[in-house]
Chains A and B, each alone.
Chain A
Amino acid sequence: MGSQPRLIEVRKNVLKQNDLTARALREQFRAAGVFVVSLVSSPGSGKTMFLEKTLTLLRQNYRVAALVGDLATENDAIRLARSQAPVKQITTGTLCHLEAVMVENALQEWDLNQLDFLFIENVGNLVCPSSYDLGENLRLVLISVTEGEDKPLKYPTIFYSADVAVVTKIDLAKAVEFDWLAAYGNVQAVRPGMLVFKLSAKSGEGMDEYLDFLKKRLHESRAAEVI
């Protein structure tokens, strides 16, 4: 008589370890009063320039820092250092996304109590980062006008995992015949109600509105703490 295979119930989240680490990070961020924003995008979205501008402008009134996930071949950290904000590189090697434990390790030498905003730039990729919670308060998904209007339809999962969408390089919209309404409609189709900013880090257009939103969210999260 052959042995019958038996089925045993397990019910375990495959990313349990990452989720636990992310939860611990979120608690650490809350206790330190730092507002954490992560960025996901495809490689051509202009995210490094966008982040450099964000750091430079926020630095005038806030304490800011950034972690940058780079593939071995890239070096966005050097460029971001021009903002004069503390920047630390996380080299992911061939890994196409950041995981919570990498953020945890990278933060070990930093005193989070000394920060208002921490930015985490994920590896340029619109697929893999969607599965990994990094403990951030807000996840921005960036698309540039040069990438066309249909990015949300091609990568609905990353839009689902993000909180806010940012359309970058809006100064080039005319030149590439970017259809803002179509892009906005596509975002709403995959993520009803999603807030969408349009801006240009180069010309500065739309930056104030977006930075005001970040400041408002920082103050709201701190006000919630007091109560």
Chain B
Amino acid sequence: MHELSIAMSIIELAQEESVQRGVQVSAVHLKLGALSGVVREALLGSFEMACEDTPLKGARLVIEELPVLIFCRTCDAQRPISSVQLFCCAECGTPSGEIVQGKELEVVALEIEEWDRSPV
């Protein structure tokens, strides 16, 4: 299971942004492709655990799962596949390995709260 190290990378990335922008992160929005090799449930659990001793403690991980899309030469268009066990155009059945979506493992947005900047 490598979701823990992925979760730690996500936290590190969010931390960097949070410090740079002087904001508190309350949620991290992630795009997760079906071919990313990362399991959603395992990642959610790991994220919660890995947040514990960091300034992100309590932050939510919001995952948007992206299905695989291939380029179908027969349809001359982007199409979904029949299943991850069958890389064929779901419309016409032509086999295709030209993936146009599904590898994503990307932090797309942060939900933030401005830090209280009042003098100490």
Contacts and interface: CB of A to CB of B under 8 A. Distances in A.
Interface of A: 3, 5-17, 95-97, 127-128, 130-131, 152-153, 156-158, 160-161, 188-194
Contact of A10 (B2, B88, B108, B114): B108
Interface in B64-120: 84-88, 95-97, 99, 105-114
Contact of A5 (B6, B95, B111): B111
Interface string B1-31: 1100110011001000100010100110110
B86 A11 contact: no
Interface residues of B, number: 37
Nearest to B2: A128
B111 A11 contact: no
A96 B27 contact: no
A189 B110 contact: no
A14 B107 contact: yes
Interface of B: 1-2, 5-6, 9-10, 13, 17, 21, 23, 26-27, 29-30, 35-38, 84-88, 95-97, 99, 105-114
Given A131-B36, A153-B85, A191-B97, A5 B26 contact: yes
A3 B26 CA distance: 12
Given A14-B105, A193-B97, 4 more contacts: A5-B112, A8-B17, A10-B13, A191-B97
Contact of B27 (A5, A188, A189): A5
Contact of A96 (B1, B10, B17, B26): B1
Given A6-B111, A10-B110, A15-B9, A192 B87 contact: yes
A94 B84 CA distance: 29
Nearest to B13: A12
Contact of A131 (B2, B13, B107, B108): B2
